[in-house]
Structure 1
């Protein structure tokens, strides 16, 4: 039956007609697309032509099947062959041609629907005629720091152009993604959704500055405008505005009076160079760059004491150094940063930079000092920055990142707004994945995580967050390479801590000890590493003694109040634990205790201590508030940490059935980390879970986790030995 059908396809010339149509349409589309690009036709023109040509193929094939050319030259309906007619031979060439037709059709459909795409794909954005990206200006100076100056000048031109309401300007992060990459301008235009780019160079020689800039149409490479500025360094501040005005004029944007870039006045050339250079260094987030930025902003304040950007930059650089790199003493550093923010807002109450710095500082106080009220202050500050500058992708992405777990739906809106302006913003790309995961859409989250990881291979946060995403699904062995890559540069102590935590859960104690041993970048990091070792070895009295010593210092690091509380609770020194609680969680002693869902596990431990001190009524009120704020809600995935906090709370309230139900739900959702990240303590070692330890169901669930983790450990070790994946899988199944 199939052979006769194929023979009939050949007899009626269906295959030949399909092949000829396919080759002709393909060639026609290629020529038309080139012409459309040269003439700057809108993108939908090519898409419409492709759809029309694709629709024409089945029409041509149907006509070929139904009609044939008669001997006299006319067209007649094709007649069926006689029953005794021998079938035509269906040769390999006919089969290959038929397969090619089908293959092209399938690939075209998959590409059109977005199902088929290779590698990390940046969504191609529709380009508008009045749209531009400012690519990083090249530095032709011998001084290394002038590269940061060139970056800063580029950013200032972007900022000036962004003030033009009718002009779409690609964000800084996206533009700088192409720094040092010899990529075709047309591809850059497609990825950023812009029709034009500005390229330039900076040469600095003594007091003279030469800036060359040109505006290029990406579709054909035509230069719409170019100019060279030979000026004194004191005129550098003016050049950025002149470039922005010239670009806007060349694009004939409809400028309102208030939208035109403000004509800048002269500034102290050293101050202007410091501001641009320090801001560019601040963006890099590395230890060396942040240190240089910190010193640069201090010098800027000396030269221009009424410049709010200097104070805002100093505050942000200080906060990032003391938290991300554990450099310096936390309490005095944060106090100085807050004073700098206050000064910046005094000089300019609408400084988005100052509100961004306030957001960073309070987020870090929440993490490091367990300041629950600081969480809300941080969120409000990031929101204020986004409201002040709704076209500032940094403000939009930082606010979206801040609320990505607590309010994922709102976060997705802000992060996508940021990506519409700055499609290659690594923070927005990474935290969009976090927000998608928080809604429970794990498939979309994983695609987004992997896209971000491929786009930004050097961004540690993406690797850490992707690893965390895999860990919550129970894929501990798959998370290890990502965390190892994040920790490899040795620039972020949190990556080493997270990797050590993973090794501890995998039962790889030697790997954990080696990783913790690397935490010696600062005295704070070294002490934290020592605390981890003491807890995992159950040497609680030693840790308590160390806490007493460090907390006796004039301005102790606030992290030791939290560690001291945990050590005291484990060593059953209830009074000392209470002293630390009054410092880190005074709100828990109020008649109506306030609880942040992010700190639920820490608050449950506080409720346990308060109960041991005899105030069982207040302990109950705290536990009931924990259960209220961690209640699952529609549209948001329930994190394992919240389920574990609820399990502990139910156990303390005597409701073992609901406690076990929470643990069961967590295991079914991928919970495999018996040792928590808070204090590296194993779940069944928590004193408030004593009522559950003898329950066979609790013991069975613990064994279930251990058995699955053992498989993950073997899979990881087998990969290290080079064992084939199939062999690993068969062993795991056995």
Structure 2
């Protein structure tokens, strides 16, 4: 991935005091600066996870450039005494290993919020001087109406929950609950407690139902305090998708969160929804952005492997899944798919041995049990498979009901028990389990995807399911010449006003909804009014957009395909094909002609 000149990482500030209390402040200051800089729309800011990968490590500019793919990075230190706080900050160019400025701030420790904003603005201004124009707001860190001692307690609680293990998370939650009692309208601890419980439930560190039940009241309070918080919108997005199966509403909340403050977990979330819809190439594109912002996120690497698994590119999937475990050995998801990738590339014994060797969290979430059941089904070890299935069924009344149903569906498909598999799908649907909406793209269930009963369940789960939607039939009705002229003009205006072509997943149905016409009418309109099909029409706009964007100074450091993706394309092949078809030359040749 080409290095963008407008990219930066903020490495964890070093605690120069002996007190552990100052460690909380150092981490908090680093996070606030990361969040503040992320508000600058043109700037690519490495997320917390990847920045904190370097905590307590000595690194060179070359290592930061290679591992985080950023042009600049910030490092600093904090020393706090009773009445003074000294913050030293320096900015380093990763290409030339050049320290192009350093600054020291001597301030009162009680001016935490003011200092956070001052340091963030100073960094932003110096960055603008170094790399070119950036739109910077007058304030990047809003002051919080919380007494300083209580805010320090908040930083302490967050410090512990960000360690992500159960004991530290519960310790942090207890501290944050005490903060809430003192300042009940402070939104941050509610969001952090909600996130901590949800994380532990998702990873199987606590029973999922218990964790999500405990998380819910804290999210509800956060919503009541500030509905327009980016984190609130993201949580509402997750609920809309995984609890209510409302993909349209999930996209709305995710895009709201993205507009407020771009972050890698929002791009990952949108990639999740594209996956549910079966738009796997587009899911990869959004995941590219997530990985660019957070290249050390175990979940991002896992999801890349998961997408390759769904596309049945098993050899490509395994390295990403293994990288995820390298970054976070406790992540419970990768082992299942590593074993499946071995199984479906014919390495049956390797898959069986892999599942048998699993220890710890993956065992508690049924990965070992379900993985072996699939292996025995695939290798026709029917008696062993049956023993595992009987054991799986005992978990249908437990906190692991979701995983148990998932494995029972997959194993029965592998055995050819299609009606039985669909019975389990139906039961999972009645229990409103999230696994149902991911069955759309699971390669193992291909043999039952065209069964009417299965299709009916999928359409009940997601009523506008693009994978199974029954096409409505309209009477053939050609538009007359005056209508063609009228609607052609309207469509051109809509495309220019709303820039619909920037949506890589734009469909003919979407265009029809803007014109308030049946889809087949719009298909006829494109054919008769523009002598183009849908792809030709939309990609013409995208080529025009690319030609404008690729010549802008702010995009000089981007690759051709990065600009193409920003222009609405979601495939390299489609982009190159259409560009040459419309312009008569390749994108590279076009760019060279403009640089002469």
Q: 2:352 aligned with 1:475, yes or no?
A: no
Q: What secondary structure is seen at the aligned counterpart in 2 of 1:194?
A: coil
283, 304, 316: which is aligned to 1:432? 304
Q: Work out the CA distance in 1 between the residues paired with 2:392 and 2:334.
A: 35
Deviation by residue 1:72-93 (Cα, 9 ceiling, x = unmatched): xxxxxxxxxxxxxxxxxxxxxx
CA separation of 1:301 and 1:220: change in aligned 2, threshold 3 A: same
Asked whether the equivalents of residues 213 and 226 of structure 1 are also in contact (C-alpha less than 8 Å), the reply is yes
**What residue is the counterpart of 1:220 in the other structure?**
97
Asked whether the equivalents of residues 217 and 224 of structure 1 are also in contact (C-alpha less than 8 Å), the reply is no
Offset of residue 415 of structure 1: 0.8
363, 380, 387: which is aligned to 2:258? 387
Q: 2:231 aligned with 1:353, yes or no?
A: yes
Q: What secondary structure is seen at the aligned counterpart in 2 of 1:133?
A: strand
**What residue is the counterpart of 1:158 in the other structure?**
34
**What residue is the counterpart of 2:533 in the other structure?**
none
320, 323, 332: which is aligned to 2:199? 320
**What residue is the counterpart of 1:188 in the other structure?**
64
Offset of residue 324 of structure 1: 3.0
Asked whether the equivalents of residues 339 and 371 of structure 2 are also in contact (C-alpha less than 8 Å), the reply is no
Q: Work out the CA distance in 1 between the residues paired with 2:7 and 2:275.
A: 30
Offset of residue 412 of structure 1: 1.0
Q: What secondary structure is seen at the aligned counterpart in 1 of 2:108?
A: strand
Q: Work out the CA distance in 2 between the residues paired with 1:446 and 1:621.
A: 34
Asked whether the equivalents of residues 138 and 150 of structure 1 are also in contact (C-alpha less than 8 Å), the reply is yes
1:15-94 alignment runs, 5 A limit = none
Offset of residue 561 of structure 1: 13
**What residue is the counterpart of 2:269 in the other structure?**
398
**What residue is the counterpart of 1:175 in the other structure?**
51
When normalised by structure 2's length, the TM-score is 0.59
Offset of residue 390 of structure 1: 5.6
Offset of residue 418 of structure 1: 1.8
Structure 2 unmatched ranges of 5 or more: 378-383, 409-422, 460-464, 470-596
Asked whether the equivalents of residues 390 and 396 of structure 1 are also in contact (C-alpha less than 8 Å), the reply is no
Q: What secondary structure is seen at the aligned counterpart in 1 of 2:177?
A: helix
**What residue is the counterpart of 2:549 in the other structure?**
none
Q: Work out the CA distance in 2 between the residues paired with 1:274 and 1:378.
A: 36
114, 123, 137: which is aligned to 1:258? 137
Deviation by residue 1:553-575 (Cα, 9 ceiling, x = unmatched): xxxx6949988xx9xxxxxxxxx
Q: Work out the CA distance in 2 between the residues paired with 1:208 and 1:484.
A: 57
CA separation of 1:407 and 1:294: change in aligned 2, threshold 3 A: farther
Asked whether the equivalents of residues 74 and 90 of structure 2 are also in contact (C-alpha less than 8 Å), the reply is yes
Q: Work out the CA distance in 2 between the residues paired with 1:390 and 1:465.
A: 32
Q: 2:221 aligned with 1:343, yes or no?
A: yes
Asked whether the equivalents of residues 322 and 328 of structure 1 are also in contact (C-alpha less than 8 Å), the reply is yes
Offset of residue 264 of structure 1: 3.4
Q: Work out the CA distance in 2 between the residues paired with 1:302 and 1:377.
A: 37
Deviation by residue 1:489-540 (Cα, 9 ceiling, x = unmatched): x3x35666212333455679xxxxxxxxxxxxxxxxxxxxxxx999749589
Over the aligned positions, Cα root-mean-square deviation in angstroms equals: 4.9
Asked whether the equivalents of residues 191 and 232 of structure 2 are also in contact (C-alpha less than 8 Å), the reply is yes
Offset of residue 262 of structure 1: 4.2
78, 81, 85: which is aligned to 1:202? 78
Deviation by residue 1:137-195 (Cα, 9 ceiling, x = unmatched): 12345455654543232111111112223444223222222223322112312433333
CA separation of 1:535 and 1:139: change in aligned 2, threshold 3 A: farther
Q: Work out the CA distance in 2 between the residues paired with 1:289 and 1:402.
A: 31
CA separation of 1:439 and 1:534: change in aligned 2, threshold 3 A: closer
Q: What secondary structure is seen at the aligned counterpart in 2 of 1:225?
A: strand
Offset of residue 231 of structure 1: 2.5
Q: 2:181 aligned with 1:302, yes or no?
A: yes
CA separation of 1:282 and 1:480: change in aligned 2, threshold 3 A: farther
Deviation by residue 1:195-251 (Cα, 9 ceiling, x = unmatched): 32211223455676443322233323425122143432x322222212111112222
Q: What secondary structure is seen at the aligned counterpart in 2 of 1:224?
A: strand
When normalised by structure 1's length, the TM-score is 0.49
CA separation of 1:426 and 1:230: change in aligned 2, threshold 3 A: same
Q: Work out the CA distance in 1 between the residues paired with 2:313 and 2:208.
A: 41
Aligned length: 436
Q: 2:430 aligned with 1:585, yes or no?
A: yes
Offset of residue 135 of structure 1: 0.6
Q: 2:368 aligned with 1:499, yes or no?
A: yes
**What residue is the counterpart of 2:486 in the other structure?**
none
1:557-568 alignment runs, 5 A limit = 559=401
Q: 2:323 aligned with 1:445, yes or no?
A: no
Q: Work out the CA distance in 1 between the residues paired with 2:265 and 2:57.
A: 23
Q: Work out the CA distance in 1 between the residues paired with 2:333 and 2:431.
A: 32
CA separation of 1:412 and 1:143: change in aligned 2, threshold 3 A: same
**What residue is the counterpart of 2:552 in the other structure?**
none
Q: Work out the CA distance in 2 between the residues paired with 1:216 and 1:417.
A: 24
Q: Work out the CA distance in 2 between the residues paired with 1:423 and 1:465.
A: 21
Q: 2:475 aligned with 1:598, yes or no?
A: no
Deviation by residue 1:38-91 (Cα, 9 ceiling, x = unmatched): xxxxxxxxxxxxxxxxxxxxxxxxxxxxxxxxxxxxxxxxxxxxxxxxxxxxxx
Asked whether the equivalents of residues 39 and 261 of structure 2 are also in contact (C-alpha less than 8 Å), the reply is no
Q: Work out the CA distance in 2 between the residues paired with 1:478 and 1:145.
A: 49
Q: Work out the CA distance in 2 between the residues paired with 1:248 and 1:222.
A: 16
Q: What secondary structure is seen at the aligned counterpart in 1 of 2:366?
A: helix
Q: Work out the CA distance in 2 between the residues paired with 1:225 and 1:561.
A: 53
CA separation of 1:623 and 1:456: change in aligned 2, threshold 3 A: closer
CA separation of 1:409 and 1:390: change in aligned 2, threshold 3 A: farther
Q: What secondary structure is seen at the aligned counterpart in 2 of 1:391?
A: coil
**What residue is the counterpart of 2:281 in the other structure?**
409
**What residue is the counterpart of 1:625 in the other structure?**
456
Asked whether the equivalents of residues 124 and 136 of structure 2 are also in contact (C-alpha less than 8 Å), the reply is no
